[in-house]
Each structure stands twice: as C-alpha cells, then as structure tokens.
Amino acid sequence: MAERLNGRVALVTGGSLGIGRATVLALAREGADVAFTYLGTRHRSDEPQLVVDGVKKLGRKAMAVESDVSRYAEAVKVVESVCTAFGRLDILINNAGINRDGVLWKMTEEQWDAVIDVNLKGCFNYLRAVSPIFRAQKSGKIVNVSSINGMRGKFGQANYAASKAGIIGLTKSAARELGPSNVNVNAVAPGFVETDMTRALPEEIQKQALRETAMGKFATPEDVAEVIVFLTSDQARHVTGEVVRVDGGQYL
C-alpha cells in the first residue's frame, strides 16, 4: 500500500514520549519527514535521540528540538527552523501536555498556571505560528490532542480538564478560521492511555479507569497515533472541526 504522507513534513510537540513518540514514528512510517519538540527536564538524555534514530531507520528525516511550548517566541523559532531544515511544513500535531493534579480547594496557582500554559497556551502558540504558513500555501493539517476529561470533567483534575476543554473550543474556532484556506483542524480525545504519565497514577485510579471502559482494556499510544495519522491524510480531507474519542468506550 502506498504511503499516505509521502513527501510531507510534520511537526509534533512533545514528541519523545508516549503518544507523541508513537505519533512521530507513525507519521514516518507513512512517508513523512518529522520534527518534534521535547523539554529536556522531563527526559533521560538519550530519549530524543532514540526517536530520531527510529525515524531514520524508517528511511525518513528527523529533527529533535528542545523547546518550551508555553513560550510563543520559542514556538515561532521552532517553526522557522523546521521550514528552513526541511523546506516546507504540512502537518502540525499539538501533543505536548502535563498534569499537576489536585482538588480545587488544595490546588495552587502554580499548579493551575503550569497546566494551562503548557496544554492550552502551548497549543495556541503553535497554531498561531503555523497559521500564516498554512494560509499562504492554501493547505495544512492540524491535530490537537485533547482528552475525554475535557469533555466530562474529572475529580482532582480541574486544571487539566479545563485545558483540554479549551483545546476543543480552540480546535473548532481554528477549523472555522482556517477552513477557507483548505486547512483541516481536528482533535483527538484519548481516554486512559498506557504511558509513563498514567503509569505513575495511583493503582486505584488506574483500576477505576479500567472499569469505566466498555472494552475492558486501555489504549496504547499507537492506538491514538493511528487515528492522528488518519486525520492528517487525504482520506480525511473533508473532516474538520471534529473531536474523535479514542477511549475504548470509557466516555460512554
């Protein structure tokens, strides 16, 4: 079968772990050259290079950029560096995210601000940085990673749920604004996914999430990545402003 993204260039934020890493590799398998960001304080020093090596083994070009997505000026520089290195940019995946859980009456301002700045403002920063490019070339695919907890709320995650709900509203507004320029903007809303971040959660929370799923199992990062790849392909050329749940029925 022909590669669906042959000749395309993609940028993935938070691309060296979990869903981001799986997405980088899935895009490369479909023929895309891929750049990704990572935040050095959250990684072992070898993790970004391992992802770069994985992309190169698939026969595609890769570039890892250490950057803080919450800073708009850095987002602009990253986008410029990708366009310089690869000569173009066709796909943006806003995946970078963190959690700082706590009930409202104990949540600190720092916990709130950190999650909103990375998850929601980070998404805006990269949308803002790529929009002039995509509008000028009259094409582009954008997928933002939200969460089912942005659709239903979650005890102890007011900041996280608010950030992910904001991403849904941002996705729909961006889809309306960029649609006339032939730019598709969609979101995926994963449920519980087996990643380093979720494995660190208390066992009872994991068991509760498992009980909620209709399929009785958690998603893998690859399950989410494959849906993201579909939304960046020409097969989804008439899909925009949508939020696709990838949750094994957990939201039901």
Reading the block at residue 6, the tokens are: 């042959």
Distance from C-alpha of 48 to C-alpha of 63, rounded to nearest angstrom: 9
Characterize 20-53 residue by residue with b for buried, 16 or more Cβ atoms within 10 angstroms of its Cβ, and e for exposed.
Answer: bbbbbbbbbbbbbbbbbbbbeeeeeeebbeebbe
Q: Work out the burial of residue 185: count CB atoms within 10 Å of its CB; fewer than 13 is exposed, 13-18 middle, 19 or more buried.
A: buried
What is the set of active-site residues?
160
From residue 96, give the alpha-carbon distance in Å to each of 64, 222, 235. Answer: 14, 16, 25
Distance from C-alpha of 28 to C-alpha of 57, rounded to nearest angstrom: 10
